[in-house]
Structure 1
Amino acid sequence: MNWLLVIAGAAVGAPVRYLTDRWVQSRHDSLFPWGTFTVNLGGSLILGILTGAAIEGAASSHLQLLLGTGLCGALTTYSTFSYETLRLAESGAKAYAAGNALLTVVCGLGMAFAGVTLGTTVWG
């Protein structure tokens, strides 16, 4: 049963990731990978909210598998973030690479903390 929840969440998360990435990136004429940045921050926020809800006892283990492991696991992408950062550095866009690495980590953690705060506030 648990694996079906993960599959169901991932079946939604993967296309949302792809479509969001393409949509966001098509609106920016920049080397910066705004699409990947956006899905990673959104996933960090969702996972933070889910964690806050779980801390308050408002998110079952099934919901955590569906949304946390499945949806957020497929929505966010560390491998693409790493690849895009490496490609920026290799192509000479070292400032974009450094900015991507710094912003993704700092803003991702910020979104996760904000999500936990929101989750514990709403369900606390």
Structure 2
Amino acid sequence: MTSFIVTLGIAALGGLGAVARFTIDTQIKRVYKAIFPLTTLLINAIASFLAGMFAAMWAYGVMGADTRLLLATGFCGGLSTFSTAINEITTLLKADRFGVAAAYIASCIAVPCVCVMAGFAVI
């Protein structure tokens, strides 16, 4: 594929990932209302798992480089929302909820790392 087509594809799939994130976030928040920002963590875990799968598929020659860019950078980049995680951490800190903030910071680092490894391992 030409770089222009890949760029357009990344943008389109990034938009699709953002719509998926909004839909998942909205549906979870209808059911789950708690003190821990679970929805962002769950969405980032899903995106990390998928990114790990796509990386493994590329590494093992199952997927081409352009397809990996479209799916990992485009869709997973639009789906994941680390800026929202940072905003949620800031909100927790401003509310003097230091324990929850610390647990959330640790979770935001550890959970996606484990999910990438798990995604890589399933291929």
Matched, 1:38 2:46: no
Corresponding residue for 1:21?
Answer: 25
Residues paired across the two proteins, number: 119
How far does residue 112 in structure 1 lie from its aligned partner after superposition? 0.4
1:57 aligns with 2:61: yes
* SS of 1:54 mapped into structure 2: helix
Which of 92, 95, 98 in structure 1 is aligned with 2:99? 95
* Aligned residue type for 2:120: V
Question: Which aligned runs of 4 or more in structure 1 are off by greater than 2 angstroms?
Answer: none
CA contact (8 A) 1:23 1:35 kept: no
2:87 is aligned with 1:79? no
What are structure 1's unaligned runs of at least 5 residues? 120-124
TM-score by length of 2: 0.91
Gaps of at least 5 residues in structure 2 are none
Is residue 5–residue 62 contact of structure 1 (8 Å, CA) maintained in 2? no
Q: Percent of aligned positions with the same letter in both sequences?
A: 25
- Alignment RMSD (CA, Å): 1.1
**Structure 1-normalised TM-score?**
0.90
Q: What is the DSSP-based 3-state SS (H/G/I as helix, E as strand, rest coil) of the residue aligned with 2:85?
A: helix
Q: Displacement, 1:62? A: 2.0
Q: Which moved more, 1:32-41 or 1:42-51?
A: 32-41
